[in-house]
Amino acid sequence: MSPRPVVRTGAPAAVGAFIRVMIADDHSLVRRGLAAIIDMEDDVRVVGEAGDGEEAVALWRSLRPDVVLMDLRMPRMEGVPAIRQICAEDPRASIIVLTTFDHDEDIYAGLRAGAKAYLLKDVQPEELFRCIRMVHAGEGYLQPKLAAKLVHRVQEEALTDRETQILELLAQGLSNRSIGVALHISESTVKSHLKSTFAKLDVTSRAEAISLAARRGLVKF
């Protein structure tokens, strides 16, 4: 069971006086460390902490913070669906992905869900503060070292949902016939999808496809 969300009642309530930040991360030490660093700034204050995606959505509805720092991998509901749910209710919501995952697929998914920025947790405090202020001002932000990965992901032809399903089953070690049984399609259809997938990924073997898919975050083990 995840800890109860934290609402920082001592945070200044004057609207516009501070950038009100909410942190969503399933590691309490990460949340506390971020809060301690952020609260050192004169114009930024942490107003709440959530330990998973469901708590993040509920706490966002309650607090309506100016900026949300959202991790991707969390229990109950992960970051991307939480971002998508929040942005469905308010497309102007200012959400920054703050995570350890730098796969191009993760970056693409986070931004496509509605996040305005994407940062890795090894970010320097100065860059974190700059990003918070830029997003609060309505701008987007992407760490330079992540930009090339995103460009590559956007330029490549996207896999279909069926191709992704087959790739995930392939990564689990299933044969073409077993994949067909699992998805209720013929073995020849599986082979056709694999041929298309290999072409899009620019690979020539099952092992190469699985390895590349794992590096890009297309499949999870």
Residue ranges of domains in the chain, CATH in brackets: 6-154 (3.40.50.2300), 161-216 (1.10.10.10)
Tally: H helices and E strands in the chain: 10, 7
Residue 13 CB neighbours (<10 A):
11
Residue with the larger pLDDT of the pair 7 and 219: 219
For residue 175, pLDDT beyond 90: yes
If phi > 0 it is left, if psi is from -120 to 50 it is alpha, else beta; for residue 159 that is beta
CB-based contact 79:71 (threshold 8 Å)? yes
Question: Is the per-residue pLDDT at 11 higher than 70?
Answer: no
Please provide the size of the chain in residues. 221
SS3 100: coil
Distance CA 99, CA 123 (A): 10
- Start-to-end CA distance of the chain, whole Å, equals 23
Would you state the torsion angle of the CA atoms of residues 77, 218, 161, 206, taken in this order, to the nearest 10 degrees?
-140
Return the HEC string of 159-192. CCHHHHHHHHHHHCCCCHHHHHHHHCCCHHHHHH
Predicted confidence at residue 144, as pLDDT, reads 82
What one-letter code names the amino acid at 6?
V
- Predicted TM-score (pTM) of the model is 0.69
Q: Provide CB contacts within 8 A for 174, sequence distance 6+.
A: 182
pLDDT digits (tens, 9 = 90+) for 193-211: 999 999 888 888 999 889 8
Paired tokens of 118: 């994407």
